[in-house]
Amino acid sequence: MWHNVGNIVHQRMPFVVRHFSRLSPPSPACAEQVIRVSNNIAHLGRPKEGPKPRQLLSLPPFPAHPLAGKNSVTTDGQNPHVTAITWIKYYFDEIPGSVIQSHFNKGLVQMDSPNLNDLSIENGGQTKLRKRKIKHNEVMKVGARVYVPVSVAESRISKRFDTIPSGTLYPNADEIEYLQRLVKYKDSAILVLNKPPKLPVKGSLPVHNSMDALAAAALSYDYDEGPKMVHRLDRESSGLLLMGRTKESISRLHWLFSDINKATSLYKAWNDACKATYQRYWALVIGSPKEMEGVISAPLSKVLLNDGKTERVILAHQSGFEPCQEAVTKYRVLGPMINGCSWIELHPLTSRKHQLRVHCAEALGTPIVGDYKYGWFVHRRWKQMPRVDFEPTTREPYKLRRPKGLDVQKGSVLSKVPLLHLHCRELVLPNIAKSLELDNQKSEIHRPNTKHSSKPDVLRFVASMPSHMKISWNLMSSYLV
**Which residues are part of the catalytic machinery?**
234
Burial of residue 223 (number of CB atoms within 10 Å: 0-12, 13-18, 19+)? exposed
Which of 360, 234, 230, 345 is CA-nearest to residue 280? 345
CA-closest candidate to residue 284, choices 36, 439, 474: 474
- Collect all residues with Cβ–Cβ distance below 8 Å to 203 and sequence separation of at least 6: 209, 210, 212, 213
Q: Rounded CA gap, 61 and 77, in Å?
A: 26
CA gap 51, 56 in Å, rounded: 14
Distance from C-alpha of 284 to C-alpha of 420, rounded to nearest angstrom: 9
- DSSP helix/strand/coil, 118: helix
Nearest residue to 353 via CA among 391, 324, 321, 322: 324
Angle between helices 432-444 and 247-257 (to 10 degrees): 120
